[in-house]
Amino acid sequence: MRADENATVNASPAKEEYKKALAANLFAGGATNKVLAFKHKAPAAPADHQNSLRVLYTQNRDAGLLPKKYSRHIPQAPERILDAPELLDDYYLNLLDWNERNVLAVALGDSIYLWNASDGSIQQLMQTSGDNSHVTSLSWVQDGPYMAVGTSDHKVQIWDVEKLKQVRSMSGHRARVSSLSWNGPLLSSGGRDSVVMQHDVRVADHKVGTLRGHAQEVCGLKWSPSGTQLASGGNDNILNVWDDRYTSSANGVCDQPLLRLDQHRAAVKALAWCPWQRHLLASGGGTADRMIRFWNSSTGACLNAVDTHSQVCALQWAKHDRELVSSHGYSHNQLILWKYPSMVKVAELTGHTSRVLHMAQSPDGTTVVTAAADETLRFWKILSGGEASKKERAAAKESILNSMTIR
């Protein structure tokens, strides 16, 4: 039997009369279940009154809902400076690369030197033969001891770095080879002859494709992390994105890129695919353009464009954080660290006295090295190497916990 039913059963006339008399005396004749009742509103506080607890409660509320901000120190000076005599002052070349084994390669005139960042040792890999010949591009294979080298006498060479030995030389270009990019065993090369060639280095007949989409020198070349798209930038101000359609052609020739993007107003050398967001490509324009543009390589849409007020020579995405580094030439010769996607400047670094032509990133993602026409290499430890991401995740978790309250 429920409690409310018990109240009706147990009631008697005598008890009811007693309750009425008691209510009349206690509640001034009005029976009510309320022991305390406000008959008039509380008086209003004075106009200048400020509750001392109000500020405390307001601050605590905001602190629980907003994530904490973490800032890291960005050194304004390079961690290390190395001399780079005879580094060619040529915007269209690609003479610097840093591999996963922590070895930095730099081309100085007709030679390539290797600097081991782990032990500081330096050795010469090769020297071109022939009068007035020089190295015009180089690129490490993604995983392994091999390097591709482009030369002024139209050749693409493959070197075994452990043995300090050339293993093959591939022809096909009719002018200097100014850009290189690996995609597994497939090597792409771009030249002053405006052609991009595809080489399968595993077979004797290496030439498997020819991409014709530029009218002038191909100075920028980068495969996407997925290996499904190739970006090429030229001195004709054109940015092309290619897929594998050349493989369906009888002779391997393709003159129709997947995307042809013509919004830059100067040479497009600086190219960088985002390592943590699919189909996101950044490109930078030369002196007459000075823009960094962001593209969706799936649709061809330009997502954003930022005027850097200086020639864009190279771009590097941070491996672990949503940041981008750009290096510049005329007229400021600086490095800029950007926060993405806001494109707010985190830091602007100066020190080079000539245009900063090349840039590469250390395998641990903490350092970028720059090579400039002032014949120096400078190492800038300006990236977090993942520490910022860990702090941001911890801050987000703490923010969620602070906003959860027991009611």
Question: What are 334-371's pLDDT values in tens digits?
Answer: 999 999 999 999 999 999 999 999 999 999 999 999 99
Write the DSSP symbol of residue 245: G
Residue 149 forms beta bridges with which residues? 138, 157
Exposure of 28 by Cβ count < 10 A (0-12 exposed, 13-18 middle, 19+ buried)? exposed
Dump pLDDT digits (tens) for 298-333. 999 999 999 999 999 999 999 999 999 999 998 889
Give the per-residue pLDDT at 225.
Answer: 96
65: Cα separation from own chain's centroid? 28
Q: Which of these, 240, 185, 186, 237, lies nearest to 212 by C-alpha position?
A: 240
Q: Are the C-beta atoms of 187 and 156 separated by less than 8 Å? A: yes
d(CA 343, CA 139): 29
Report, as an integer, the average pLDDT of 75-95: 97
User: What token pair was written down for 397?
Assistant: 């978790």
pLDDT confidence tier of residue 43, bands split at 50, 70 and 90: confident
Furthest-apart CA atoms within the chain: distance in Å: 127
pTM: 0.79
Other Cβ atoms closer than 10 A to 48: 5
Write the DSSP symbol of residue 16: H
Dump pLDDT digits (tens) for 191-230. 999 999 999 999 999 999 999 999 999 999 999 999 999 9
d(CA 183, CA 189): 11
Report, as an integer, the average pLDDT of 262-269: 98
Write the DSSP symbol of residue 319: S
d(CA 288, CA 268): 11
The H-or-E segment that residue 370 falls in is strand 368-372
Residue 264 has pLDDT above 90, yes or no: yes
